[in-house]
A and B are shown apart, each in its own frame.
Chain A
Amino acid sequence: MLVHKGCMPMTLKVNGETIEADIYANMTLLRFLREHVGYTGAKPGCENGDCGACTVLLDGRPIKACMMLAIEASGCEITTIEGLKNTEIQSAFVKEGGFQCGYCTSGFIVNAYALLEAHPCADEHTKINWLSANLCRCTGYEGIRNALNGAQEAIAKRTDK
């Protein structure tokens, strides 16, 4: 049985890099990534699991890091927005203007990236189902929707080659 009392070591991978840290059990994954590892891309929005600004990938699946203890991620692989480089979804968000203040953007991009990895041919129902997990107070979602569709087309072109 794993027992974690007080400040104890933990190991996990973040964006491909093995991280070893001494943490208390009460540290959320969001706080760990931002304050221990230094990846501030995932944001504290509501810290209630509603807004999705804290979305990261845990072993490829999007999760809300504000609702998870860092200790739970021990031995797992985390991908933050900082771990996504030159992806179609990132280019599409720039091209389509899928952001204004940018606070929700990392959460949207990480979730959209995971969606298109899992379902490159995602239909409208699937896209809405996944992306309803993220809130934007600025854009009205049209740019975000266009970015998602644009990335999907770009990925289809890339994979068709």
Chain B
Amino acid sequence: MIPFDFEYYKPQTAQEAYACMTSLKASSKKAFYYSGGTELVTLLRKEKIVADAIIDLKGISEMCRISNKEDFIVVGTCVSMNKAIEFGISDLIHTTFEKVADHTVRNALTVGGNLCGRLPFKEALLPLIALKAIAVVYGENGPKEIPLSSLFDKRLKLKADEFLYEMMIPHKMPEFTFAKRVTAGTAVDYPLIHLVATSDGEHTTVVLSGFANYPVFKVLPAVTTADQWMTQFEGLAKHDERGSASYRKHLLKVVIDEMMEVYPYAGT
């Protein structure tokens, strides 16, 4: 049971949601946007977060659906990760999303919630950055499009009261994709390392979660070698109860070597 009461709002438009947040803040109320709730409900129950109000974004219809728009698949950020998998956006999204949390949790866990939550893993970020997704952020002046790779630096750089509205994923898929996730014990666990890579033959994007204190990514020429990739990331390895920094570096080398075995641009 959550040990304190709070107000619950469920707007029907993005404009209403933003206005609600600014109004609550102006009244000195501590308000949070709410999507799947898989993180927030537990944090509220444990009083790690205390809220005066929550604004449930799932009442905004376009945030709960997937549609096509010109060269993009548009995914509302309140779409659950299972629905995103079932829609069949791409094999890479299927492979990556399917490993996050567990199947039942993924019926509630949303794409936006995974990206915006407090947990440092944010594994939905991996295929989205690798696929060059564009984030649509709703703020004071309505929606604005920003490459997700520009919006993310250790965390999503959202301004006060802004929220993640949609993700636009290009229809055109890269020629090379690779994904590998390693956990300390069972498959249902946070990752020691989760690597996703894509390449168009000219540039290669590698995104990591679980390895450092936050997700990290680099975009380098396609001819980058395994040793060069190691140099990019190995200094960021973290040490925690799941594994030491040296073990993570070892795993990184193993995973990068595995990637390079199937990588078509090595030495070109």
Contact = CB atoms under 8 A, between A and B. Distances in A.
Interface of A: 1-6, 24-28, 31, 47-49, 52, 55, 58, 61-64, 66-69, 71-72, 111, 129-130, 132-134
Given A48-B42, A67-B41, A67-B105, A24 B5 contact: yes
Nearest to A8: B8
B6 A26 contact: yes
Given A4-B7, A62-B107, 20 more contacts: A1-B9, A1-B10, A2-B10, A4-B8, A6-B5, A24-B5, A31-B1, A49-B38, A52-B102, A61-B82, A62-B103, A63-B104, A63-B108, A64-B38, A64-B104, A64-B105, A64-B108, A68-B37, A132-B187, A133-B103
Contact of B2 (A28, A48, A49, A129): A28
A84 to B, nearest CB: 16
B104 A28 contact: no
Given A28-B45, A62-B107, A133-B104, A3 B7 contact: yes
21 contacts: A1-B9, A1-B12, A1-B20, A2-B9, A3-B9, A25-B8, A49-B42, A49-B105, A52-B104, A63-B107, A64-B108, A66-B41, A67-B42, A67-B105, A67-B108, A68-B41, A69-B41, A129-B98, A129-B103, A132-B103, A133-B105
Contact of B103 (A6, A26, A130): A130
Interface string B58-71: 11000000000000
- Interface majority SS on A: helix, strand, loop or mixed? mixed
A72 B42 contact: no
B260 interface: no
Interface in B37-89: 37-38, 41-42, 44-45, 54, 56, 58-59, 82
Contacts of A66: 41-42
Contacts of A62: 103-104, 107
A21 to B, nearest CB: 15
A1 B59 CA distance: 8
A124 to B, nearest CB: 14
A25 B37 contact: no
A111 B6 CA distance: 31
A77 B188 CA distance: 28
Contacts of B145: none
A130 B104 CA distance: 7
Given A24-B5, A26-B2, A67-B42, A72 B37 contact: yes
B200 interface: no
A1 B58 CA distance: 12
Residue of B4, B11, B41, B44 contacting most chain A CB atoms (<10 Å): B41
